[in-house]
């Protein structure tokens, strides 16, 4: 098969790869219907996370089951499935509490790389959720988004305790931040303030349910959020970047007793004890347990209630994956969908 490898900073190659095979009896092999480039793929792409040896890329996937191992009981050949970026058994105590991304058997979701024609999925019964029937092609982008970007935005909103009547601030206008807006709207948020400087992203944020746009950043951005909330700050803040500046912006934009849901992969973030102590802000986040929310998200998508697949503003054949990375790195695209 063909698949995507990262050899080093900005060195993405689409090349011949071994066909994935069943390794453990709980594995499945899927034929990818669609895949995409993640904002978190940009950390190694930019060399911020060093690449010591070439690695298979891609962890967001939807596809048709080609083959299952002998211990797979529920997932069947021919089903259209959506899975998460971590494989989980969905039966251990941590999974049952809703934290499948911390499953005691946690493994990479697609260890052979999902930016490929085929992928091996571990713990298939726990990881994969099938659709009742083969979905229409126009629903595939939204189902793919549930695999990570929308699932992560949903968890961020949930972790930020978004609910009816709440005012939500969103730090980060990438795919996850925008999906967080859509999730917050679904959860009944009254007001959704998005921090963004990009006209195209502002437009999609408004379409997804944002009520206010703040283009200021840092302390000025915080001041603007305070101004919009009678000096109090937001009840719920979604942090979808992962840098020192964005995390501080999120904490400081949140009112006493409020919640920050942080899902940007934190890189070298230090939180000063004293101001945090006096902030009275709840922090909750980490790798989103997408599997917890998949059934609910997929139902909303299959019923045509929401269309999170709109975050894909660039669609390329998988063979042009390198351009997909470049477009996101240069912020020419919010998110690139790849067609195998």
Judged by CB under 5 A, the stretch of 62-70, 92-100, 203-211, 229-237 that binds Zn ion is: 92-100
Residues 18, 3: Cα–Cα separation, whole Å = 9
* Residue 123 binds Zn ion, judged by CB under 5 A: no
Residue 210 is encoded by which pair of tokens?
């944002």
Residues 103, 5: Cα–Cα separation, whole Å = 27
Minimal CA–CA distance to 43: which of 268, 298, 294, 275? 268
Q: Which is nearer to Zn ion, 103 or 238 (CB)?
A: 103
Query: Residue count at the site for Zn ion (CB under 5 A)?
Result: 5
Binding test (CB under 5 A) with Zn ion, winner from 12, 36, 81, 103: 103
Binding mask 41-80 for Zn ion (x = CB under 5 A): ----------------------------------------
DSSP bridge pairs for 121: 28
DSSP letter at 268 equals S
Residue 8 is encoded by which pair of tokens?
């080093």
* Residue 232 binds Zn ion, judged by CB under 5 A: no
CB-based contacts of 137: which residues, under 8 Å, 6+ apart?
Answer: none
Q: Which is nearer to Zn ion, 88 or 167 (CB)?
A: 88
* Residue 95 binds Zn ion, judged by CB under 5 A: yes
Binding test (CB under 5 A) with Zn ion, winner from 92, 265, 302, 322: 92
108-136: buried (b, 16+ CB within 10 Å) or exposed (e) per residue?
Answer: bbbbbbbbbbbbbbbbbbbbbbebeeebe
Q: Which is nearer to Zn ion, 91 or 296 (CB)?
A: 91
Residue 247 is encoded by which pair of tokens?
């995390």
Q: Which is nearer to Zn ion, 26 or 167 (CB)?
A: 26
In the range 178-217, which residues lie near Zn ion by CB under 5 A? Answer: none
Residues found near Zn ion in the complex (CB under 5 A): 88-89, 92, 95, 103
């Amino acid at each position: 098969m063909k698949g995507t490898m990262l050899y080093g900073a900005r060195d993405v190659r689409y090349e011949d790869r071994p066909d994935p095979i069943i390794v453990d009896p709980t594995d499945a092999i899927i034929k990818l219907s669609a895949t995409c480039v993640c904002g978190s793929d940009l950390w190694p792409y930019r060399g911020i996370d060093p690449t010591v040896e070439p690695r298979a890329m891609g962890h967001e996937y939807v596809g048709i089951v080609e083959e299952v191992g002998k211990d797979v009981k529920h997932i069947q050949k021919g089903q259209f499935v959506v899975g998460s970026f971590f494989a989980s058994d969905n039966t251990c105590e941590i999974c049952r509490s809703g934290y499948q991304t911390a499953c005691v058997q946690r493994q990479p979701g697609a260890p052979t790389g999902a930016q490929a024609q085929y992928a091996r999925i571990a713990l298939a019964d726990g990881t994969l959720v099938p659709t009742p029937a083969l979905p229409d092609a126009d629903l595939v982008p939204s189902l793919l988004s549930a695999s990570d970007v929308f699932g992560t935005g949903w968890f961020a909103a949930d972790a930020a305790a978004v609910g009816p009547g709440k005012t939500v601030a969103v730090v980060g206008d990438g795919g996850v931040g925008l999906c967080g807006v859509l999730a917050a709207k679904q959860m009944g948020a009254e007001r959704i303030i998005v921090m963004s400087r990009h006209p195209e992203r502002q437009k999609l944020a408004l379409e997804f349910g944002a009520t206010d746009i703040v283009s200021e950043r840092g302390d000025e951005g915080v001041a603007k959020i305070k101004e919009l909330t009678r000096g109090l700050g937001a009840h719920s803040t979604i942090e979808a970047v992962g840098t020192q500046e964005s995390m501080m912006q999120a904490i400081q934009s949140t009112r006493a007793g409020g919640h920050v849901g942080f899902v940007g992969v934190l890189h070298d973030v230090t939180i000063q004890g004293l101001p945090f102590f006096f902030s009275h802000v709840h922090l909750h986040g980490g790798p989103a347990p997408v599997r917890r929310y998949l059934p609910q998200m997929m139902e909303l998508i299959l019923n045509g209630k929401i269309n999170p697949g709109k975050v894909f503003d660039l669609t390329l054949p998988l063979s042009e994956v390198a351009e997909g990375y470049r477009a996101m790195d240069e912020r020419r695209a919010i998110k690139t969908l790849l067609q195998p």
